[in-house]
Structure formats: structure tokens, C-alpha cells
């Protein structure tokens, strides 16, 4: 099979409903895909495939498999920690990488930081089941060290695929690592937070990581300010 048809088949399996020749369509960090039916630079080619987000996420998970693409698979990880929650969520949280509890349970944000994240979600009137939670890196780095650049490069495409399937209205990047990875910047979270960014058709709000809040509870006030913005953004647009 040619590379092109294999590529198209993969996107079909993910449930991607639009394919365009317009390079802006999939530009990382661009605010919006072109309007449906728009024909930039000539005839836009669109194919429509009916497939649920749950099925598309399952296809990504199956593609990851028992991953051996980077060195983390031989550095003590128990399992791949893919993501959890509503496949059609309006709100998505992105963290860094699984910790010890997540590695054992196979679910992101279930340890102490995760329990705080659950409270943060509930503070804006939602339940964990309403949102989707994933990490940039799907396997636990040994000793919870920071992920290496080659690990990020290998693993981040799966996060981008998850975002493109779920199509959340709002993404909350938890901590420096997630915010830097998504926004392609070296700025620390302290400089990034407080603003709303356009990202892959969503609004992105960077905020402090719950593990940082466990160490610096005085910053919870800042996170609350960020979450109030999230709530307004979620309510603001009902289409």
C-alpha cells in the first residue's frame, strides 16, 4: 500500500472527518481549521467518515500497543497510561507523565496530585467523568525524572491525536512541562499562566501542576483564577 493511502486509512480509523490540502488545517498551534467548505488555494478535498470519538481513541490506543518506541519501556514502567474520561469532553487536562500510582493503576492522575486535580475539576461544577485527562508522556520515567527530549518527541504525537479526536473547547495544561510542550516555548509556567492561548482549535489555559500546589498551597488562588476563566470559556460557546 502506498504511504499516502496508508496515511489516509490511519486517519479514517481515527475518525478524522475532514482532510484538506490547506497546510493551515493541521498546523500545530493554529487557532482554527478552515471553515467547512472553504477551498483555500483550489479545491479542498474533504472526506466524511462517521466514527465515534470513543472508537477513534481506541484505535489510537491500539496503535500504541505495548509500546517499545522509546527507552522508557525498558526502564521499569509497568504499563502504558493512555488517558481517561469522556471522549467527547469539552474540557481536557494535560499533565506531564504518569507517576508511581498511575503506573500501577494504568490511569492518569490517581495519586495525591490526582486527588487534588479531582477537587479542582469539581470546584467548577464538573466531575472527572465529564472531562478527559491525559499526559504528554504515556509511560512513567524512572524515579519520576523529567522526560527526555527524545521521549517527548516519540510520545507527543499520540497526545496530539487524542486532542484532535476529542476536539475539546478548552485545554488546561498542567505545569511547566505540559505548557512548554504544547505551546512550543521555553517560558516557565509562571510566565505563561494568566493568559488564554489559541491551540489546535481550542482555548488553552496553562496553570500550575497539582503536584506543585501540594508543595506550594498558596498558589491555589492562582489556579482558582485560571479555573474561573475555564468555566467562562466553557459556558461562553454552546455550539
The yes or no reply on residue 97 touching ligand URA (CB under 6 A) is yes
| CA atoms of 61 and 47, how far apart (whole Å) | 23
The yes or no reply on residue 113 touching ligand URA (CB under 6 A) is yes
Residue nearest to ligand URA (CB): 95
How many Å is the maximal CA-CA distance in the chain?
A: 57
- The interaxial angle of helices 149-166 and 3-14, nearest 10 deg, is 60
One residue of 33, 83, 85, 98 binding ligand URA per CB under 6 A: 98
**Grid cell 490547506 — which residue?**
22
**Grid cell 505540559 — which residue?**
178
| CA atoms of 90 and 130, how far apart (whole Å) | 8
CB of 142 to ligand URA, least distance (A): 15
Which residue, 114 or 168, has its beta carbon nearer to ligand URA?
A: 114
CB of 118 to ligand URA, least distance (A): 12
Which residue, 18 or 106, has its beta carbon nearer to ligand URA?
A: 106
The yes or no reply on residue 108 touching ligand URA (CB under 6 A) is yes
| CA atoms of 175 and 210, how far apart (whole Å) | 8
Which residue, 110 or 202, has its beta carbon nearer to ligand URA?
A: 110
Q: Which of residues 123-142 bind ligand URA (CB under 6 A)?
A: 135
Backbone angles phi, psi at 83, to 5 degrees: 165, 165
One residue of 33, 99, 141, 168 binding ligand URA per CB under 6 A: 99
- Which one of 57-65, 108-116, 184-192, 230-238 is the stretch in contact with ligand URA (CB under 6 A)? 108-116
Backbone angles phi, psi at 134, to 5 degrees: -145, 170
Q: Are strands 132-135 and 91-95 parallel, antiparallel or unpaired?
A: parallel
Which residue, 15 or 114, has its beta carbon nearer to ligand URA?
A: 114
| CA atoms of 213 and 120, how far apart (whole Å) | 11
The yes or no reply on residue 95 touching ligand URA (CB under 6 A) is yes
- The sign of the torsion formed by the CA atoms of 77, 79, 81, 84 equals negative
Which residue, 49 or 104, has its beta carbon nearer to ligand URA?
A: 104
- Which one of 11-19, 71-79, 103-111, 165-173 is the stretch in contact with ligand URA (CB under 6 A)? 103-111
CB of 50 to ligand URA, least distance (A): 32
Cell of 80: 502504558
Q: Which of residues 196-225 bind ligand URA (CB under 6 A)?
A: 211
Specify the 3-state DSSP secondary structure of 180: helix
Contacting residues toward ligand URA, per CB under 6 A? 95-99, 102, 108-109, 111, 113-114, 135, 211
Amino acid at each position: 500500500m502506498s504511504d499516502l493511502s496508508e496515511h489516509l486509512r490511519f486517519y479514517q480509523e481515527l475518525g478524522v472527518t475532514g482532510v484538506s490540502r490547506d497546510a493551515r488545517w493541521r498546523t500545530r498551534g493554529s487557532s482554527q481549521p478552515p471553515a467547512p467548505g472553504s477551498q483555500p488555494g483550489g479545491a479542498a478535498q474533504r472526506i466524511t467518515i462517521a466514527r465515534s470519538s470513543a472508537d477513534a481513541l481506541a484505535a489510537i490506543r491500539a496503535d500504541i500497543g505495548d509500546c517499545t518506541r522509546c527507552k522508557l519501556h525498558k526502564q521499569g514502567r509497568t504499563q502504558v497510561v493512555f488517558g481517561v474520561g469522556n471522549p467527547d469532553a469539552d474540557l481536557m487536562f494535560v499533565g506531564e507523565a504518569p507517576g508511581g500510582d498511575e503506573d500501577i493503576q494504568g490511569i492518569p492522575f490517581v495519586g495525591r496530585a490526582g486527588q487534588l486535580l479531582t477537587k479542582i475539576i469539581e470546584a467548577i461544577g464538573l466531575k472527572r467523568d465529564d472531562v478527559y485527562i491525559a499526559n504528554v508522556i504515556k509511560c512513567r520515567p524512572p524515579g519520576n525524572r523529567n522526560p527526555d527530549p527524545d521521549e517527548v518527541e516519540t510520545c507527543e504525537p499520540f497526545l496530539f491525536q487524542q486532542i484532535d479526536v476529542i476536539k475539546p473547547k478548552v485545554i488546561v495544561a498542567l505545569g511547566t512541562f505540559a505548557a512548554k510542550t504544547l505551546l512550543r516555548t521555553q517560558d516557565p509556567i509562571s510566565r505563561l499562566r494568566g493568559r488564554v492561548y489559541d491551540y489546535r482549535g481550542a482555548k488553552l489555559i496553562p496553570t500550575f501542576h497539582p503536584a506543585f500546589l501540594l508543595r506550594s498551597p498558596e498558589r491555589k488562588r492562582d489556579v482558582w483564577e485560571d479555573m474561573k476563566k475555564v468555566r467562562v470559556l466553557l459556558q461562553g460557546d454552546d455550539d
